[in-house]
C-alpha cells in the first residue's frame, strides 16, 4: 500500500519537493514524521530503506541498482535535485548497503562551508575551427571539454540562473559552470552550436551589433536558428566593439557619454527587434576587452541590465558585483589539464580570487 501511495505522490507532482516533516501543507500523500521503511518496488532505482529521519536530514540505505536521480525523486520529490545528495556525500554512484545522507532542506544558498565558499566559473570562448590564433579553439578540443564536464557531472547553467545565487537566495550545485562566447563569429554556428546540442548544454553568445552579417560574422538567420533552439541565449556585446573606458582622441565629454549610451542601447534594440520571433530579451552585457568604468556601470544600471561580464579571471561568489562578473578565457592552446585548472568552484576563506 505504501508503495502505491509513494508512486501516486511522485507521479502527481514530479517537480514539487516533498515538504520536510512537520511543515504540513500539501503533504497529503507524503510520509509523516517517522515514515515506515519503503518496501522494495516503490520507485525503480530507489528501493533502499530510510534508516532514520529528522526535519533536516534522512539517512538512506541504498539497495542494489539504486540511482541518485530516483533517490532524489523519492526523498526530495524531484529527480533534478540529485546534486544535493551528490554534494552532501561527495559521490554520484551509490553503493548498496552504504548509508547516504539526504539533506531534506535546501543547502545554504550562499554556498558557504566552514573554511571556504562556493564560486561559479564563467568560461569565455571566441572562435572555433582551425588556425594558430589562441583565440581559436579546435572543435575536437571543445568537444573534449564538454565531454569532460558531462563525465564529471558539471551542471552547465544559463547566465540568468546565476541571478538567484547572486541574490543569496538560490543554492546551486557545487559543480556549476557557465559557458559564454564573445563577438559572434560564424564558426559558433558551425562548430559550437552542434557540440552544445549534442551534450545538452546551453551557452550565452555576446554579439556586437556591427559584426552581424559581416564576412566572418553570424547571419541573422543563424542567430535566429540558435536563439529559437533554446541552446544559445543571445545577449549584447556593444554596437561597435570600441573600448568603453578609452576616450578617443579629441572626443568631447558629451560625445563620449553619447557614444556610451549608443553602445549600450543600440545592440539591445536591434537584437530584440531582429530576433523577436525567438523571444530574445537582452539583459546581459559583455564589455569589449572586458573593460568597464563607473560611467559604463551607471548607464547599464539605468538601462536595466542585470548582468555584466568582464574578463577578470576567477570564479564568482554570491557577493560578486552582478555587473562586474569574472570570466575565465579558454584559449586554443589549453589542454584538458589547463581547462580543469580554470574551473574554480570553491575558494578558501581568506584567499584572493
Ligand atoms: Zn569581443
CB-CB contact of 203 with 251 (8 Å): no
How far away, in angstroms, is 4 Cα from ligand 1 center?
56
pLDDT at 12 over 70: no
Distance CA 232, CA 158 (A): 9
Q: How far is the CA of 289 from the centre of ligand 1 (A)?
A: 6
What is the percentage of the chain residues whose pLDDT exceeds 70? 88
Tens of pLDDT, residue by residue over 37-62, are 555 556 788 999 999 999 999 999 99
Cα 144 to averaged position of ligand 1 atoms, centre (Å): 24
> At residue 16, does pLDDT exceed 80?
no
pLDDT tens digits, 286-333: 999 999 999 999 999 999 999 999 999 999 999 999 999 999 999 999
Alpha carbon of 235 to ligand 1 centroid (Å)? 12
C-alpha 327 – ligand 1 centre gap (Å): 13
Residue closest to 226 by CA, chosen among 183, 261, 190, 251:
190
C-alpha cell at 75: 526523498
- pTM comes to 0.84
Ligand 1 center to 288 CA (angstroms)? 5
pLDDT tens digits for 197-253?
A: 999 999 999 999 999 999 999 999 999 999 999 999 999 999 999 999 999 999 999
How far apart, in whole angstroms, are the C-alpha atoms of residue 149 and residue 145? Answer: 6
Residue 101 pLDDT greater than 90, yes or no: yes
Task: Calculate the alpha carbon distances from 157 to 109, 167, 308 in Å.
Answer: 16, 16, 16
The pLDDT of residue 18 is above 50: no
Compute the distance from residue 174 Cα to the ligand 1 centre, in Å: 29
Spatial separation of the C-alpha atoms in residues 232 and 195, rounded to whole Å: 12
- Cβ atoms of 329 and 313 within 8 Å: the answer is yes
| pLDDT computed for residue 89 by the predictor | 95
Neighbouring-strand partners of residue 219: none
Q: What are phi and psi of 301, to 5 degrees?
A: -65, -45
Residue 183 CA, ligand 1 centroid: distance in Å: 5
Distance between Cα 10 and ligand 1 center (Å): 47
How many angstroms does the Cα of residue 126 sit away from the middle of ligand 1? 8
pLDDT at 27: 36
Across residues 106-126, what is the average pLDDT?
Answer: 90
The string of DSSP codes covering 136-176 is EE-HHHHHHHHHHHHHTT-EEE-GGGHHHHHTT-----SSE
CA of 299 to the centre of ligand 1 (A): 19
- The overall average pLDDT reported for the chain is 89
For residue 86, is pLDDT > 70?
yes
- Output the pLDDT for position 97: 96
Cα(23) to ligand 1 centroid in Å equals 50
Q: What is the pLDDT of residue 134?
A: 93
340 Cα to the center of ligand 1, angstroms? 24
| C-alpha 207 – ligand 1 centre gap (Å) | 8
CA of 137 to the centre of ligand 1 (A): 15
Dist. CA 227 → ligand 1 center (Å)? 19
Tell me what the mean pLDDT of segment 90-119 comes to: 91
Q: Are 299 and 258 in contact (CB under 8 A)?
A: no
Q: Give the distance (Å) from ligand 1 centre to CA of residue 181.
A: 9
pLDDT for 228 equals 98
CA count, 13 A, side-chain hemisphere, 62: 23
Dist. CA 28 → ligand 1 center (Å): 54
Per-residue pLDDT, 42: 61
Closest listed residue to residue 319, CA positions, set 158, 160, 168: 168
Q: At what angle do helices 253-274 and 294-302 cross, to 10 degrees?
A: 40
Amino acid at each position: 500500500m505504501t508503495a502505491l501511495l509513494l508512486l501516486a505522490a511522485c507521479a502527481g507532482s514530479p517537480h514539487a519537493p516533498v515538504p520536510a516533516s512537520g511543515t504540513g501543507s500539501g503533504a497529503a500523500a507524503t510520509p509523516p514524521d517517522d515514515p515506515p521503511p519503503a518496501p522494495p518496488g516503490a520507485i525503480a532505482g530507489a528501493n533502499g530503506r530510510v534508516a532514520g529521519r529528522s526535519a533536516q536530514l534522512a539517512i538512506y540505505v541504498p539497495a542494489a541498482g539504486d540511482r541518485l536521480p530516483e533517490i532524489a525523486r523519492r526523498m526530495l520529490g524531484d529527480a533534478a535535485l540529485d546534486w544535493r545528495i551528490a554534494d552532501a556525500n561527495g559521490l554520484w554512484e551509490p553503493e548498496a548497503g552504504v548509508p547516504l545522507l539526504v539533506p531534506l532542506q535546501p543547502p545554504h544558498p550562499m554556498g558557504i562551508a566552514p573554511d571556504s565558499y562556493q564560486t561559479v566559473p564563467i568560461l569565455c570562448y571566441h572562435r572555433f575551427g582551425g588556425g594558430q590564433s589562441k583565440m581559436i579553439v579546435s572543435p575536437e578540443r571543445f568537444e573534449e571539454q564538454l565531454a569532460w564536464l558531462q563525465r564529471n557531472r558539471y551542471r552547465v547553467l544559463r547566465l540568468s540562473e546565476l541571478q538567484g545565487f547572486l541574490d543569496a537566495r538560490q543554492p546551486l550545485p557545487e559543480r556549476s559552470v557557465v559557458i559564454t562566447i564573445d563577438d559572434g563569429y560564424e564558426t559558433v554556428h558551425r562548430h559550437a552550436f552542434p557540440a552544445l546540442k549534442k551534450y545538452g548544454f546551453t551557452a550565452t553568445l555576446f554579439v556586437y551589433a556591427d559584426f552581424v552579417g559581416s564576412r566572418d560574422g553570424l547571419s541573422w538567420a543563424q542567430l535566429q536558428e540558435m536563439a529559437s533552439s533554446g541552446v544559445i541565449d543571445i545577449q549584447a556585446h556593444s554596437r561597435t566593439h570600441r573600448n568603453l573606458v578609452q576616450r578617443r582622441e579629441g572626443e568631447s565629454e558629451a560625445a563620449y557619454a553619447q557614444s556610451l549610451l549608443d553602445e549600450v542601447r543600440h545592440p539591445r534594440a536591434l537584437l530584440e527587434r531582429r530576433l523577436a520571433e525567438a523571444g530574445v530579451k537582452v539583459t546581459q552585457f559583455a564589455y569589449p576587452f572586458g573593460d568597464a568604468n563607473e560611467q559604463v556601470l551607471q548607464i547599464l544600471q539605468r538601462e536595466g541590465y542585470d548582468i555584466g561580464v568582464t574578463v577578470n579571471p576567477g570564479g564568482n561568489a554570491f557577493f560578486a558585483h552582478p555587473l562586474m562578473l569574472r570570466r575565465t578565457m579558454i584559449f586554443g592552446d589549453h589542454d584538458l589539464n589547463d581547462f580543469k585548472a580554470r574551473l574554480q568552484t570553491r575558494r578558501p576563506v581568506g584567499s584572493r580570487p
